[in-house]
């Protein structure tokens, strides 16, 4: 019995351990998969999507009629006998009001959908940014680990030379200081990657520990010069939708200056004798009722407040027009600036690939060979090695800036 219980506990512990390993194991994910996961699972994005549902539900609030007025009266109308009266009336606006309210509600839905485009664009941008930043950070870690390996090996050789009396403590201290700096940088980059990876997991909303996997740290982008000057931003569409909504809201306010009308019906008893003609009288009892139809007109004689509301709304329309125009100019300037920086970064990357990186490899190989042959000092070797490491680090920074420009250009060239 004890053996059986022990086996059960062991199985449970093993199962828990396996679940822990699986949940913490890093799984590769492609960019397209990461974007799809974010669009379907990101809580903030899904919450903002509900604004569209809200706007669509609000469409059903039109036509919004006033409450029906019901009244009842009881008392002596035609004599000492008690009579009763009941009535019902309903107020209506002219059809133009309901038509314009429907237009306002439709514009509200369009605005919510356009805002959703902004949220979607920003989420995709964030996923790309985090994804490729992690790829670059991985390469930075590889670079620093390689530098750590080089200097660690050199440190061992220096220590052996110092022990053999072939070198002094200055060489050993210099190499040791370089090794310390590299390991400090490596710790910082690893911690940066850890924090960014946690943000990436929250962005794509997954319990698995996904890590980016791509053939290149450079984002693939087919740039078309024909798109220059055709920048369309979801934010610009939002401003245009807001302007349209304000215009339609102003038109609605103007339609409220038109008179309203009411239609009603009332029914009452008039108990007692009533004269029908000069020669005939008739008695009317509780079952005899008299009905009438009422039509009324509500005229806005005191419309000062409504006219002030319309004037204020027209100011908002003009303000939104100016805001839209200003943003369009900023958008064009931003496009030109980003395009210019993109072309510079593209040229820089090309120079790194054609000259910088191959040259750095050659420098490291040549410096190592000359140091072994005693043709250069250890200080020269450290200088050349640091130059190679810095060249590779500058290349990775250039890749990061290039990717950022590409992501921004994609946003500015998105077609809707």
| Domain annotation covers residue 12 | no
Question: 155 and 270, same structural domain?
Answer: no
The pLDDT of residue 358: 93
For residues 149 and 155, give the distance between their C-alpha atoms in angstroms, rounded to a whole number.
10
Question: 225 and 76, same structural domain?
Answer: no
Task: State the average pLDDT over residues 349-353.
Answer: 93
For residues 377 and 333, give the distance between their C-alpha atoms in angstroms, rounded to a whole number.
52
| Domain annotation covers residue 24 | no
| Domain annotation covers residue 5 | no
Q: Note the pLDDT tens digit of each residue in 181-231.
A: 999 999 999 999 999 999 999 999 887 788 888 778 999 876 664 455 556
Strand 260-268 with 290-298, pairing: antiparallel
The pLDDT of residue 114: 92
Please name the residue ranges forming H helices in 217-303. 234-255
Tell me the CA distances in angstroms from 152 to 176, 237, 364, 414, one per residue in order: 8, 57, 16, 49
Percentage of the chain modeled with pLDDT above 70: 89
Question: 393 and 264, same structural domain?
Answer: no
Helix/strand number for the chain, H first, E second: 9, 8
| Domain annotation covers residue 187 | yes
Q: Note the pLDDT tens digit of each residue in 81-92.
A: 888 899 999 999
Q: Note the pLDDT tens digit of each residue in 283-327.
A: 888 888 888 999 998 888 888 999 999 999 999 999 999 999 999
What does R_g of the chain's alpha carbons equal in angstroms? 40
Q: Would you place residue 281 in the very low, low, confident or very high pLDDT band (cuts 50, 70, 90)?
A: confident
Question: 182 and 318, same structural domain?
Answer: yes
| Domain annotation covers residue 1 | no
Classified as helix, coil or strand, 90 is strand
Q: Do 218 and 31 form a contact (C-beta atoms < 8 A)? A: no
The pLDDT of residue 26: 62
* Among the ranges given (29-38, 60-69, 399-408), the one the predictor scored with the smallest mean pLDDT: 60-69
The pLDDT of residue 175: 82
Question: 74 and 88, same structural domain?
Answer: yes
Q: How far is CA 323 from the centre of its chain?
A: 21
| Domain annotation covers residue 17 | no
Question: 226 and 107, same structural domain?
Answer: yes
Question: 366 and 265, same structural domain?
Answer: no
Whether residue 22 has pLDDT greater than 50: no
Task: State the average pLDDT over residues 253-279.
Answer: 87
Q: Do 203 and 385 form a contact (C-beta atoms < 8 A)? A: no
Residue count (the chain): 416
> Which residue among 273, 299, 325 closes a domain?
299
Whether residue 400 has pLDDT greater than 60: yes
Whether residue 37 has pLDDT greater than 90: yes
Question: 160 and 130, same structural domain?
Answer: yes
| Domain annotation covers residue 4 | no
The domain of 54 spans: 30-61+94-258+310-412
Whether residue 15 has pLDDT greater than 60: no
The pLDDT of residue 157: 79
CATH code of the domain containing 172: 1.20.1600.10
> Which residue among 242, 271, 299 closes a domain?
299
Question: 136 and 154, same structural domain?
Answer: yes
The pLDDT of residue 414: 66
> Which residue among 299, 331, 361 closes a domain?
299
| Domain annotation covers residue 265 | yes
Question: 367 and 331, same structural domain?
Answer: yes
* Total domains in the fold of the chain: 2
Q: Would you place residue 376 in the very low, low, confident or very high pLDDT band (cuts 50, 70, 90)?
A: confident
Question: 285 and 169, same structural domain?
Answer: no
Question: 198 and 149, same structural domain?
Answer: yes
For residues 35 and 110, give the distance between their C-alpha atoms in angstroms, rounded to a whole number.
24
Q: Would you place residue 167 in the very low, low, confident or very high pLDDT band (cuts 50, 70, 90)?
A: low
């Amino acid at each position: 019995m004890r053996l059986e219980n022990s086996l059960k506990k062991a199985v449970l512990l093993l199962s828990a351990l396996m679940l822990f390993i699986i949940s913490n194991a890093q799984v590769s994910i492609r960019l397209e998969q990461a974007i799809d996961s974010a669009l379907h699972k990101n809580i903030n994005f899904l919450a903002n999507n509900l604004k569209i549902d809200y706007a669509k539900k609000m469409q059903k609030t039109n036509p919004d009629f006033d409450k029906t007025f019901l009244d009842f009266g009881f008392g002596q109308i035609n004599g000492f006998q008690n009579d009763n009266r009941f009535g019902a009336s309903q107020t209506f606006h002219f059809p133009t009001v309901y038509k314009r309210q429907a237009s306002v509600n439709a514009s509200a839905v369009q605005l919510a959908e356009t805002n959703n485009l902004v949220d979607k664009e920003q989420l995709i941008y964030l996923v790309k940014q985090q994804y490729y930043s992690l790829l670059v950070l991985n390469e930075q870690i590889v670079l620093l680990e390689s530098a750590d390996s080089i200097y660690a090996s050199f440190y061992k050789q220096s220590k052996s030379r110092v022990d053999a009396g072939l070198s002094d403590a200055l060489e050993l201290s210099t190499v040791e200081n370089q090794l310390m700096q590299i390991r400090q940088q490596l710790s910082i980059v690893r911690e940066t990657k850890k924090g960014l990876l946690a943000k990436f997991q929250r962005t794509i909303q997954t319990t698995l520990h996904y890590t980016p996997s791509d053939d290149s740290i450079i984002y693939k982008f087919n740039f078309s010069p024909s798109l220059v000057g055709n920048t369309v931003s979801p934010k610009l569409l939002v401003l245009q939708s807001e302007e349209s909504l304000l215009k339609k809201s102003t038109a609605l306010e103007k339609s409220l200056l038109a008179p309203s009308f009411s239609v009603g019906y009332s029914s009452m008893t008039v108990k007692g004798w009533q004269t029908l003609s000069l020669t005939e009288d008739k008695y009317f009892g509780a079952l005899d009722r008299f009905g009438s139809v009422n039509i009324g007109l509500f005229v806005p004689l005191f419309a000062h407040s409504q006219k002030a509301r319309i004037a204020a709304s027209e100011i908002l329309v003009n303000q939104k027009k100016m805001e839209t125009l200003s943003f369009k100019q900023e958008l064009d300037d931003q496009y030109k600036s980003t395009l210019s920086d993109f072309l510079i970064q593209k040229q820089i990357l090309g120079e790194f690939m054609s000259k910088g990186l191959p040259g750095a490899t050659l420098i490291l190989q040549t410096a190592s060979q000359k140091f072994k042959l005693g043709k250069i000092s250890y200080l020269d070797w450290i200088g050349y090695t640091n130059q190679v490491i810095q060249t590779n680090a500058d290349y990775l920074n250039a890749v990061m800036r290039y990717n950022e420009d590409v992501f921004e250009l994609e946003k500015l060239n998105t077609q809707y």
